[in-house]
Amino acid sequence: MQDTFDLSHYAGELICGVDEAGRGPLAGPVMAAAVILDPAHPIAGLRDSKKLSEVRRAALAIDIKQHALAWAVAECSEQEIDSINILQASLLAMRRAVEALAMQPTLALIDGNRCPVMAVRSEAIVKGDDKVAAISAASILAKTARDQALLALHEQYPQYAFDQHKGYPTALHLARLREHGVSPVHRLSYAPVKALLK
């Protein structure tokens, strides 16, 4: 994908794109990724991870990890989400991802309308995952990492079918929640989970 957002006024900046995945699910961590793309190795097919098939996302994630100048994935746990709320947890996961990069960017472009508080200068771009290639790359890494995390949770808690819905509040997930009760990886502050604790 070509950047549809005008990056010309960022000339000379070392830019990292940042995005998160997993704000809506009832279970599992929220993940974030930060990516510094290599202008010498453009990656074809980058776009918002939600618009890509699982197979395409997985293939692109491999390309991104091979060709990016730097990338990192970080998370906030269910306990942190319940403690500080999902918005703050998403911002914290983003900050952790940026701080984990092997090289320090001069500017972080964040998907959405809020920036985490961190040492690196940052700017929020609404729908950035469809406008800026580095944010699209971060979106793909965050989503694939989160899907892998939920497959691992499925091994521990097969009764919830996390492999099928990845923690999102589908009819199947809600039915399994009612049948089996709340697990240690569910987000207790989310209304459908909280309702079962009463």
pTM of the model: 0.94
Nearest to 169 by CA among 143, 195, 148: 195
What percentage of the chain has pLDDT greater than the value 90? 86
pLDDT digit string (tens) for 36-89?
Answer: 999 999 999 897 678 889 999 999 999 999 999 999 999 999 999 999 999 999
As given in the structure block, the two tokens for residue 194 are 């909280």
Residue environment code for 56-87, b if the CB has 16+ CB neighbours within 10 A, otherwise e: ebeebbebbeeebbbbbbbbbebebbbeeebe
| C-alpha span between 78 and 38 (Å, rounded) | 34
pLDDT at 10: 80
For residues 93 and 72, is the Cβ–Cβ distance under 8 A?
Answer: no
Average pLDDT over residues 174-197: 96
What is the per-residue pLDDT for 198?
A: 76
Q: What is the pLDDT of residue 147?
A: 97
Please check the confidence at residue 1 and state whether its pLDDT lies above 60: no
Q: How many CB atoms lie within 10 A of CB 16?
A: 32
Cβ–Cβ < 8 Å for 33, 60: no
- Domains in the chain (CATH in brackets) are 12-197 (3.30.420.10)
